[in-house]
């Protein structure tokens, strides 16, 4: 018997004999993935995670995995005719994502909970559930590409650089990558995705993109932290780099590195920026813009996706991205161990903050070579 050619998901069998679990947030991206795969004839199973009390979020649009989004995902499944399940991951999400988010903020860091959610919930627990459902793979609506290289699957930036989500997916492991599929990564624009949604007759075709972190309504981080950690918004002093008191604040959690507005200490000459947060002394330290410049960044929890071991070389000349909104910059990465390193930026960056990610890119291709977490103070 002849071997069948590889189908679009990379398996040597017919689409109808290939089961794929689609992680459905209720948004247009994951809905299009599910509809597209169903139309191609795959055995599609949709799964939506309930990550927090959707009763409180029922009336709130613009954040994934709330009550309305579960409803939207279910409607897509009904329209396209495939089964859809809702899994209650509230406890997992609180323990793996929300608690760390609160503690990191209280420690003066600027965490990125969406990365932890992908790492600890979606690509860990949900991926295991997909395997329990005997799926051949799991597909998501992320804008990133998976390509086969000489050593196995590789992670590559999305074709549309404006939609690229590599910063949020750097911690994907080689094992997870072998099981995951990202069918939208090759599309040239979000308009293409919406056109596909309209073509399939999906009710979410014109649904706005989510902007906020799903458990932080209206971007009000401080209110969420206060609720999670009562008493965390204790007042303290705003001081300059020499320790002189310039004013008072209502709590370290209201500030982030690089912040200029809302300090309440205007009229002191040159603009001042938050350059450091010290939760132990409850001090917000401010300084001139040049004090924000950083060239050397300590990183840990390195997830390496290169073909040879991370610590097999004394240094790597790569590009790195230290904020999701900034383009990758040239850097030298010097491994300390398999999971720790020092990153030296060839050009200083402003506002580098502990708790953010530092993602590694191949300077000569679209490949993502992994990434790490920025730690320590400045």
Of the residues 114, 137, 214, 358, only one is catalytic, namely: 214
Q: What is the CA radius of gyration of the chain?
A: 22
- Do the domains spanning 15-218 and 293-374 agree at the CATH topology level? no
CA–CA separation, 62 vs 138, rounded Å? 24
For the domain bounded by 293-374, which CATH number is listed?
2.40.30.10
Scan for tokens 């000459």, then name that residue: 269
Give the pLDDT confidence of 312-369 residue by residue, as tens digits.
Answer: 999 999 999 998 888 999 999 999 999 999 999 999 998 888 999 999 999 999 999 9
Q: What is the mean pLDDT of residues 219-241?
A: 86
Rounded to 5 degrees, what are φ and ψ at 187? Answer: -70, 145
Q: Give the pLDDT band (50/70/90) at residue 263.
A: confident
- According to DSSP, the residues that pair with 44 across neighbouring strands are 20
- Give the burial class of 3: count Cβ atoms within 10 A of its Cβ; 0-12 exposed, 13-18 middle, 19 or more buried: exposed
Q: What is the mean pLDDT of residues 37-53?
A: 92
Percentage of the chain beyond pLDDT 70 is 94
**CATH superfamily entry for domain 233-287:** Adenine nucleotide alpha hydrolases-like domains (2.30.30.280)
214 belongs to the catalytic site: yes
CA–CA separation, 316 vs 342, rounded Å? 11
For the domain bounded by 15-218, which CATH number is listed?
3.40.50.620
137 belongs to the catalytic site: no
User: How confident is the model at residue 377, as a pLDDT?
Assistant: 46
Q: What mean pLDDT, rounded, does the chain reach?
A: 90
| Residue 319 CB neighbour total at 10 angstroms | 17
User: How confident is the model at residue 2, as a pLDDT?
Assistant: 63
Number of continuous H segments (helices) and E segments (strands) in the chain? 10, 17
Of the residues 64, 65, 114, 117, only one is catalytic, namely: 117
Question: How, if at all, do strands 329-335 and 316-321 pair?
Answer: antiparallel
Give the pLDDT confidence of 107-143 residue by residue, as tens digits.
Answer: 888 888 999 999 999 999 999 999 999 999 999 999 9
Look at residue 313 and give its three-state secondary structure: coil
- According to DSSP, the residues that pair with 45 across neighbouring strands are 21
Strand segments (E) across the chain: 19-23, 43-50, 84-88, 137-139, 144-149, 152-157, 180-181, 236-239, 245-249, 273-278, 283-287, 293-304, 316-321, 329-335, 341-350, 357-361, 367-374
Give the residue extent of every domain in the chain.
Answer: 15-218, 233-287, 293-374
4: pLDDT strictly greater than 90: no
1: pLDDT strictly greater than 60: no
User: How confident is the model at residue 57, as a pLDDT?
Assistant: 42
User: How confident is the model at residue 55, as a pLDDT?
Assistant: 45
0.85 exceeded by pTM:
yes
């Amino acid at each position: 018997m002849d071997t069948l050619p590889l189908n679009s998901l990379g398996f040597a069998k017919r689409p109808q004999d290939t089961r794929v679990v689609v992680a459905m947030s209720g948004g247009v991206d994951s809905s299009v993935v599910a509809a597209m795969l169903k139309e191609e004839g795959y055995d599609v199973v949709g799964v939506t995670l309930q990550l927090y009390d959707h009763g409180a979020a029922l009336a709130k649009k613009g954040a994934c995995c709330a009550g309305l989004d579960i409803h939207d995902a279910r409607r897509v499944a009904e329209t396209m005719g495939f089964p859809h399940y809702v899994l209650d991951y509230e406890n997992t999400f609180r323990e793996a994502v929300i608690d760390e988010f609160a503690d990191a903020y209280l420690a003066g860091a600027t965490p990125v909970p969406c990365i932890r959610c992908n790492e600890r919930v979606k690509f860990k627990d949900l991926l295991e559930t997909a395997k329990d459902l005997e799926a051949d793979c799991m597909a998501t609506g992320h804008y990133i590409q998976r390509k086969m290289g000489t050593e196995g699957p590789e992670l590559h930036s999305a074709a549309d650089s404006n939609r690229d989500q590599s910063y949020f997916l750097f911690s994907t492991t080689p094992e997870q990558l072998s099981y995951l599929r990202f069918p939208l990564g090759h599309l040239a624009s979000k308009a293409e995705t919406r056109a596909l949604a309209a073509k399939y007759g999906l009710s979410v075709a014109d649904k706005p993109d989510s902007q906020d972190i799903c458990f932080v309504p209206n971007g009000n981080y401080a209110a969420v932290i206060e609720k999670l950690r009562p008493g965390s918004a204790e007042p303290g002093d705003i001081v300059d780099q020499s320790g002189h008191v310039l004013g008072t604040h209502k709590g370290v959690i209201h500030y982030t590195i690089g912040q200029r507005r809302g300090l309440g200490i205007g009229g002191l000459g040159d603009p001042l920026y938050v350059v450091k947060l010290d939760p132990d002394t409850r001090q917000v330290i401010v300084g001139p813009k040049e004090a924000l410049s950083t060239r050397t960044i300590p990183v840990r929890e390195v997830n390496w996706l290169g073909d040879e071991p991370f610590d097999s070389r004394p240094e790597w000349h790569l590009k790195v991205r230290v904020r999701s909104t900034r383009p990758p910059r040239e850097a030298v990465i010097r491994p300390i161990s398999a999971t720790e390193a020092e990153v030296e930026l060839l050009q200083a960056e402003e506002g580098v903050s502990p708790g953010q990610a530092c993602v590694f890119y191949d300077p000569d291709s679209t490949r993502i070579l992994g990434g790490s977490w920025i730690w320590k103070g400045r």
